[in-house]
Chains A and B, each alone.
Chain A
Amino acid sequence: MKKILSVFLVIFILALFTPTAFAQGEFIVDDADLLTEDMEATLESQILSINEAYSIDVVIHTTMSTDGEEIYSYCENFYLSNGYAQDGLVFVINLNNNEVGNRDFYTYYQGTVYDTFGDEAYNSDYGYVNSAVLPYLANEDYYMALQTYLELTESYLSGEITYDIADDEGVFVGDYYTDGAVEYSSEPMSPVVKELIIIVVALVVAFIVTSIMKSKMNTAVIKTEASDYMKNGSMKVTRSLDVFTHRHVTKTAKPKNNSSGSRSGGGGRSGGGGGKF
């Protein structure tokens, strides 16, 4: 009997120390300890007024690490496993053990929040929030970042900010991730297919190697330059000017990873977006 009691005690103590146990119902979970108590109080009152006005749960969570989990699945799991409302969002700042440039921020949202913003609009609009918040994050002014985030989020919910395409040339254009729309194939490849791939690879490599061998057979190639005949030290630069003219940024979607853990709730009524800083 004593033994069983001590086992229960251990389980109870362990439970106390897992984040799920104490995060229950809290709207600010500052595990990375970025906020003072005063700041938390101010932010909390901001959150409570939003939550009350729109009957949703707005949650802020900071963490030192996601323990290797992808940020979007970490966000979703955090929201779903801590008993928050069916309608709401969580904004996560992951310091990634203070690896500058590799720190994440991300929003997961579901239910009526998703219904309000939809998919496409949320993407672009969300880019607007992201680019407003990013400078503060980059300066490690987390309090201002969060205040700005909450203000803009409320402006969205109230319809004060409407669809407004973000500057496509910006360093941080919006990006987002949606659930449910993409089907992942995880069926293992059949041995026949693998065998065919190996044969194709083998033929290609053999072709490349023999082509190199072949190319070595001809050294009679016409020359179009004369660097062998440049007089040593005869080059003098008299004028030199480098002028920046323009720049452009392209973005391509990363291949989505299908091993990012269980995503259960939402059923297409959830989404998210974020970035690195």
Chain B
Amino acid sequence: MLDDALRSNRLPAAPGVGYKPQHFSQILEHAKPVAWLEIHAENYMGDGGRPLAQLRHLSEQFPISVHGVGLSIGGETPLDTDHLARLKHLVGWLNPASFSEHLAWSTHDSHFLNDLLPLPYTDATLTRVCDHIDQVQEVVGRQMLLENPSSYLAFEESTWSEPDFLSEIARRTGCGLLLDVNNVFVSATNLDFSPQGYIDAYPLEQVGEIHLGGHDEDEDDHGRPLLIDSHGREVVDPVWALLDYVLEQSGPKPLLVEWDTDVPDWPVLRAEAERAQTALDRVPA
């Protein structure tokens, strides 16, 4: 269980965006309303050069969220201690406003698969994930936020609902939660549950950050919609509506727009941040 002193999420309840190097100079010239930036930790684990120089520069002007995509917290095998040491080093150097990772696995048999792979929600997974989060928070010396995945399928063996599973992880480890409302919408469509029902069951008081992103539409073998979490386009209206539903209950939160493939020009991404600002403006503080 995490020491209270390590709970140091300092992201503002304002829009942020996922940082892409091609936007560097435009962010410095015209960021508003973007108030903070999120980076993928693994892209800043080299020894030097432009990536770290740009990050150092940006961190002097913006709160930074370090978002790991490669720790494989749900992995059946022990965490990669080399990778954990790299995360500790990055977080120690940057002293970011927030640090987060995913409820997923990506490494097996020393192969890194570069995707966020799904977990069965069982007691055994719960124990393993909590042990790994305890280890991460101890080594990195910070509270971490844990993000809900996008699901394309379900495990027959699961005995927990995802919101209950995340609540219990937060209760046991003291980690916070990163609520990705697009992921909720994608999973709800793909697995045929109510996204509002998910939010009603979800521990909003643990949320340190909210993600928004775009998805693609496909079909399963039976012609039913299968949404793919691609982060390659605008956030769709039903996801903005789900965000409103969340913010009404949670109050203002740090909102991040993720756009990772087919990355648009800065004005397009900034327009998404403006829409996030509008959503925040409607919420009584």
Q: Do A and B come from one complex?
A: no
Listed in ascending order, the chain A residues whose CB lies under 8 Å from chain B are none
Interface residues of B (CB under 8 A from A): none
